[in-house]
Amino acid sequence: MTLPSPALEATTPAGPPAGPAGRAGLAAHPRLAFVLARLARALVSLVLVLLAAFFLVHLVPGDPVRAALGPTVSPETVEALRQQLGLDRPLGAQLGHYVTGLVTGDLGTSVTSQRPVATILLERLPATLTLAGLSFLLAAVGAFPVGVATAVSARGGRRRGLDLVVSGVLGVLVAVPGFLLAVLLVSVFGVTLGALPPAGWGTPAHAVLPVVALAAGPLAYLARIVHVEMLRVLDEPYLTTARSKRLPAATLYLRHALPNIVGAALTAGGVVLVGLVAGTVLVETVFVIPGIGSTIVSSISAKDYPLIQGVVLVYAVLVLVANLLVDLALAVLDPRSTVAEA
Amino acid sequence: MPGTRPRPALLRTLATPRGAAVAAGLLLLALVTAFGPALLGDAADTRDLAARQQGASLAHPFGTDDLGRDLLARVLVATRLSVLLALGATAISVVGGAVVGIVAAVLPAALRRAVNALVDILLSFPWLLLALFFSVIWGTTATGAMLAVGFAGVPVFARLVSTLAASVAGTEYVHAARMLGSAPLRTARVHLLPNVLPPLLVNAAAHASVSLLSFAALSFLGLGVQAPAYDWGRLLNEGARRIYVDPMAAVGPGLAIVLTGVLLALLGEVLSEGGRRRGRAGGRPPRAGTGVAPAVADDAPVVDVRDLRVAFAAEDGSLVERVHGVDLRVAPREVVGLVGESGSGKSVTAMAVAGLLGPDARVRAERLVFRGIDMTRPPSPAERTRLGLEQTMIFQDPLSSLNPSLTVGRQLTEVTEVHARTLRAAARARALAALERVRVPEAARRLRQLPHELSGGMRQRVMIATGLMVTPRLIVADEPTTALDVTVQRQVLGALRGAQRETGAAILLISHDIALVSGFCDRVVVMRSGRVVEELDPRRWQDATHPYTRGLIACVPDMTTDRTRPLPVVEPEAPDDAAPALDPGATDRSGRTGPPARPGRPGRPTRKGVPA
């Protein structure tokens, strides 16, 4: 195992790099450098994702076409599908075809429904985006008051009973996976009480249970992060300084404490947002929502490779966009985080 | 974590209620995994078409499935497959991650960065998407899903291992081992492995919980275990189809998943906490009023403290008294130094005077008054305003005591805006003037800057300028120059002196540095172990009678100090805190020895990296 030499570490500056002339301009603008670095990373990720989606079919052991059609189909049919998917051509030509297709918005044709993959995805994307977006909103809006209030009341070991109850409830919510909560919600509110539609999509009432099922875990997780971070900040010397100024409680917590947890909360929020995007797969399946989450499951079961490639690509791009949005928000709201990384 | 020894801590943890519960749960899980299929396999597979799709009943607590098989038995039998698949996936993640992490650590720097960047990118994708991706490749079977879930966790452990290896490799003892000529492989085996393994195991336990849930999710989606085999996810999938008729069929396997997931997550937490227990602080006792007349005469003492006792809650819940009956008076405009080694209670005393001790502190005093305000009670709104305007604080580390997210201007102006209702523009003008008076260059630009953009000395002058924004009667300065180098110390003390002259405030200067205090203060109060041992006129050190004070003085070096003799030290405190003895070589002032003597500050970190 190679060990970093102490001399090397000592020469690596913690602040903005005093690099050669080309980087001197960026060093003066750590935020810009941070954003550019993250954009570059997203671009590299995108290229990797495209390659991964393309090679997905080739990575399947054995003959993917035979696997998709099953053992009973005639060799002619297999060959026909192979030609339709372009798998008979050389790898370089396939890649070229794939990339030009992407540029022109052609993601291929679904094997099972014989419809263009791009059309299917565009039909189904809105439901998934709505579901993930509403859930994130609920999680973010709900987590801050809960986290801040519990931290303020529990500081220094006060109100241990309340603290235990709240942290217990949050802990359970974090531990229960979204799809289990979804099943439970369907059972209680959809079936037993009959208060809300247990499945389907379209009206606001249809969205309530899926959004709650998807948001509960992330909300609890985020609230715990806010709680822990708030407890840390409340013990910081600068909060003692602020207390020595005898500021009103609202000023103390909102102006002095809250901005200092934004960085951590945003980073955790990024994890939550990305998790929500993935969580739609399970929740859509439980509530039979016509989004891309239920599409990915059905296409994997049916070995519909063009559709799988398309959905994987869309999900990956959603994750990249979510990460990028969080990074941009960090650059705007928590400039120190960008300094530390530049 | 370097240097932790897991085993004794683990045993101690098992003795806690949570540790015992986790151990019992694990034992139960292991028993069901081992013997479930043998004992209940028949019950789980016995078809009874007459009793198919029954709800929960005494005979079938979870109901029966399409073929009339008992669901409770099936859930228990499914434990083995569910647990083994989750453990298998976790093993793949840990081993794969360790291989990637260690290979990355051995690779040349450029390749290592490339591998780390790839791991970074993979980590930005949620496990479910990675698992779905891999399940396309390896097929929707139990083995395929195990590989998929396992590979989805590889980046997590690759990152963990490379971070751990790097952090351990950067520690002093590894550097020391290298300098002593230890071979790289030996260093890795002796120093890296023992320190990397415990956190790796802790994370593996926590990750087993994630694997279990992932597996349940894949099987639930129909992409994992396929009939006729069944794990919890598969049972949940079958139960969920009947949820409109019979919720128990889905709730049963769901319970098993959640309970086992929580158990494994708790195991991770218990392992990582080791024997560390959360400190239990007692509730804040009701504060006793001391009944003080509100009128404040101008010549009345600014601070009047009699028999101040401060206790803190210890880990076991008992109270530990840290300040044992301190008397302290500060007259208007008086500069009082509070001197003592760390742990002498001087800071706690000052914070009690300011009413800023945390909720875990228990303050009692016959009298604890700041200009007519009883500081043993929470202040009334009017008293808060007066405290905001009449007391200002300066702390040791100006970086951590300024809010890193707020501009200097905002932190200066808010006191007057809040308490004196000054308009923002007027407050800003005043802040500009205050910064100029403490000689902060380019004051207008500084107002818009964040604290981290300022130098250490400048930050401390900003703190002092905060005092100039109001009309302080008392400036509490807690080691205001300790974090600064000597030249800057002088400038900061000059600024503090200027602020005191300008506002007519009294100063309570807390310091371990008797030389600094003697040049600055009108009166010096020496504290040790929570008691005042002596009060002195700093111009008449030779009058010091208490041996501890004389010891402190003896520790101060000057130009005539004999540098060939060992450093004088203040003797560790006698158990009953009777008159402390001194190092025999240091009792006589003329016998002072050795340079950098900082009396009684063992192990206190200094920011500039100078060993104290």
CB B54 within 8 A of CB B64: yes
Dist. CA A113–CA A284, nearest whole Å: 20
Q: Does B381 touch chain A (CB under 8 A)?
A: no
By C-alpha distance, the chain A residue nearest B193 is A1
pLDDT digits (tens, 9 = 90+) for B260-294: 888 887 887 777 665 343 333 333 333 333 333 34
H or E segment and range at residue B373: strand B373-374
| Strands B303-313 and B361-364, sheet pairing | antiparallel
Q: Does A161 touch chain B (CB under 8 A)?
A: no
Interface with chain A: mutation pick from B396, B403, B455, highest number of A CBs within 10 Å:
B403
- pLDDT, averaged across chain A: 79
Interface with chain A: mutation pick from B128, B410, B450, highest number of A CBs within 10 Å:
B128
* Angle A261-A263-A269 from CA coordinates, rounded to 5°: 95
Under 8 Å CB-to-CB from B313, ≥6 apart: which residues? Answer: A157, B279, B280, B281, B282, B319, B320, B360, B362
Q: Does B223 touch chain A (CB under 8 A)?
A: yes
By C-alpha distance, the chain A residue nearest B241 is A286
Under 8 Å CB-to-CB from A216, ≥6 apart: which residues? Answer: A173, A176, A178, A181
Q: Does B117 touch chain A (CB under 8 A)?
A: yes
Between B11 and A267, the more confident residue is: A267
What Cα–Cα distance (Å) separates residue A42 from each residue in A31, B95, B225, B241?
16, 28, 35, 40
Question: Number of residue pairs across A and B with CB atoms under 8 Å?
Answer: 217
Q: Does A312 touch chain B (CB under 8 A)?
A: yes
- Mean pLDDT, rounded, for B83-88: 89
What Cα–Cα distance (Å) separates residue B286 from each residue in B290, B351, B377?
13, 19, 9
* Cross-chain CB nearest to A183 (options B243, B280, B452): B243
Task: Evaluate if residue B223 carries a pLDDT over 70.
Answer: yes
CB neighbours of residue A141 within 10 Å? 11
Of B480, B472, B467, nearest to B401 by C-alpha is B480
* Cross-chain CB nearest to A1 (options B102, B129, B247): B102
Bridge partner list, B19 = none
| Strands B303-313 and B531-536, sheet pairing | unpaired
Bridge partner list, B320 = B312
Whole-number CA gyration radius for chain A: 25
CB A131 within 8 A of CB A207: yes
Out of 3.30.365.10, 1.10.3720.10, 3.90.1200.10, 3.30.465.10, the CATH code matching B9-273 is 1.10.3720.10
Amino acid at B302: V
Per-residue model confidence (pLDDT) at position B413: 87
Among A209-213, A267-271, B177-181, the range scoring the smallest mean pLDDT is B177-181
Per-residue confidence band for B422, with pLDDT thresholds at 50, 70 and 90: confident
By C-alpha distance, the chain A residue nearest B133 is A312
CB B492 within 8 A of CB B481: yes
Task: Evaluate if residue A129 carries a pLDDT over 60.
Answer: yes
Per-residue model confidence (pLDDT) at position B103: 77
For residue B135, list chain A residues with Cβ-Cβ distance below 8 A: 300
Q: Does B392 touch chain A (CB under 8 A)?
A: yes
* Cross-chain CB nearest to B124 (options A156, A259, A319): A319
Per-residue confidence band for B336, with pLDDT thresholds at 50, 70 and 90: very high
Q: Does A25 touch chain B (CB under 8 A)?
A: no
Task: Evaluate if residue B38 carries a pLDDT over 50.
Answer: yes
Under 8 Å CB-to-CB from A37, ≥6 apart: which residues? Answer: A341, A342
Per-residue model confidence (pLDDT) at position B274: 56
**Helix extents (H) in A115-245:** 117-154, 160-175, 178-185, 204-234, 237-244
Q: What is the pTM of this model?
A: 0.71
For residue A235, list chain B residues with Cβ-Cβ distance below 8 A: 358
Interface with chain B: mutation pick from A183, A209, A273, highest number of B CBs within 10 Å:
A183
Q: Does A104 touch chain B (CB under 8 A)?
A: no
First and final C-alpha spacing in chain A = 28
Residue A273 structure tokens: 């947002």
Q: Chain A: give the shortest CA distance to residue B197, in Å.
A: 15
Per-residue confidence band for B51, with pLDDT thresholds at 50, 70 and 90: low
Dist. CA B302–CA B370, nearest whole Å: 6
Q: Chain B: give the shortest CA distance to residue A301, in Å.
A: 7
Q: Chain A: give the shortest CA distance to residue B545, in Å.
A: 36
For residue B243, list chain A residues with Cβ-Cβ distance below 8 A: 183, 186-187, 191
By C-alpha distance, the chain B residue nearest A334 is B405
Dist. CA B116–CA A301, nearest whole Å: 33
CB A313 within 8 A of CB A117: no
Burial of B456 (0-12, 13-18, 19+ CB in 10 A): middle
Task: Tally the residues of chain B.
Answer: 612
Whole-number CA gyration radius for chain B: 34
Residue B103 φ then ψ, to 5°: -60, -40
Amino acid at B117: A
Q: Chain B: give the shortest CA distance to residue A74, in Å.
A: 22
**For chain B, what percent of residues have pLDDT higher than 70?**
74
Task: Evaluate if residue A197 carries a pLDDT over 70.
Answer: yes
Q: What is the three-state SS of B245-278?
A: CCCHHHHHHHHHHHHHHHHHHHHHHHHHHCCCCC
Per-residue model confidence (pLDDT) at position A228: 82
3-class secondary structure, B368: strand
Per-residue model confidence (pLDDT) at position A135: 92
Is B132 close to A312, i.e. CB distance below 8 A?
A: yes
Dist. CA B466–CA B506, nearest whole Å: 15
Is A3 close to B261, i.e. CB distance below 8 A?
A: no
* Cross-chain CB nearest to B192 (options A1, A4, A188): A1
Domain with CATH 3.40.50.300 in chain B: 303-404+468-582
DSSP-assigned letter for residue A194: -
H or E segment and range at residue B326: strand B319-330
Burial of A147 (0-12, 13-18, 19+ CB in 10 A): buried
Domain with CATH 1.10.3720.10 in chain B: 9-273
Per-residue confidence band for B555, with pLDDT thresholds at 50, 70 and 90: low
| Strands B303-313 and B319-330, sheet pairing | antiparallel
* Cross-chain CB nearest to A179 (options B220, B284, B359): B220
H or E segment and range at residue B510: strand B506-511
- Mean pLDDT, rounded, for B315-339: 86
3-class secondary structure, B54: coil
For residue A336, list chain B residues with Cβ-Cβ distance below 8 A: 404-405, 450, 452
- In Å, the largest CA–CA distance within chain B is 105
Q: Is the bond into B228 cis (omega within 30 degrees of 0)?
A: yes
For residue A339, list chain B residues with Cβ-Cβ distance below 8 A: 452
Between B362 and B60, the more confident residue is: B362
3-class secondary structure, B391: strand
DSSP-assigned letter for residue B59: S
CB B473 within 8 A of CB B505: yes
Q: What is the three-state SS of B534-584?
A: EEECHHHHHHCCCHHHHHHHHCCCCCCCECCCCCCCECCCCCCCCCCCECH
Of B371, B351, B374, nearest to B508 by C-alpha is B351
Find out if CATH 3.40.50.2300 is the number for domain B303-404+468-582: no
Amino acid at B557: P
Of A322, A319, A342, A321, nearest to A331 by C-alpha is A342
The DSSP annotation for A8-59 comes to: HHHHS-SSS----HHHHHHHT-HHHHHHHHHHHHHHHHHHHHHHHHHHHHHH
- Mean pLDDT, rounded, for B469-487: 83
3-class secondary structure, B328: strand
Among A37-51, B143-157, B265-279, B412-426, the range scoring the smallest mean pLDDT is B265-279
Per-residue confidence band for B594, with pLDDT thresholds at 50, 70 and 90: very low
What Cα–Cα distance (Å) separates residue A225 from each residue in A147, A157, A171, B498?
7, 18, 12, 44
**Helix extents (H) in B139-247:** 142-169, 172-179, 184-187, 193-220, 232-241
Residue B570 falls in which region: left (phi positive, over 0), alpha (psi -120 to 50) or beta: beta
* Angle B238-B244-B248 from CA coordinates, rounded to 5°: 60
Per-residue confidence band for A4, with pLDDT thresholds at 50, 70 and 90: very low
Q: Chain A: give the shortest CA distance to residue B106, in Å.
A: 5
By C-alpha distance, the chain A residue nearest B223 is A301
Interface with chain A: mutation pick from B103, B118, B132, B140, highest number of A CBs within 10 Å:
B132
Q: Does A41 touch chain B (CB under 8 A)?
A: yes
* Angle B420-B424-B429 from CA coordinates, rounded to 5°: 95
Dist. CA A333–CA A113, nearest whole Å: 46
For residue A221, list chain B residues with Cβ-Cβ distance below 8 A: none
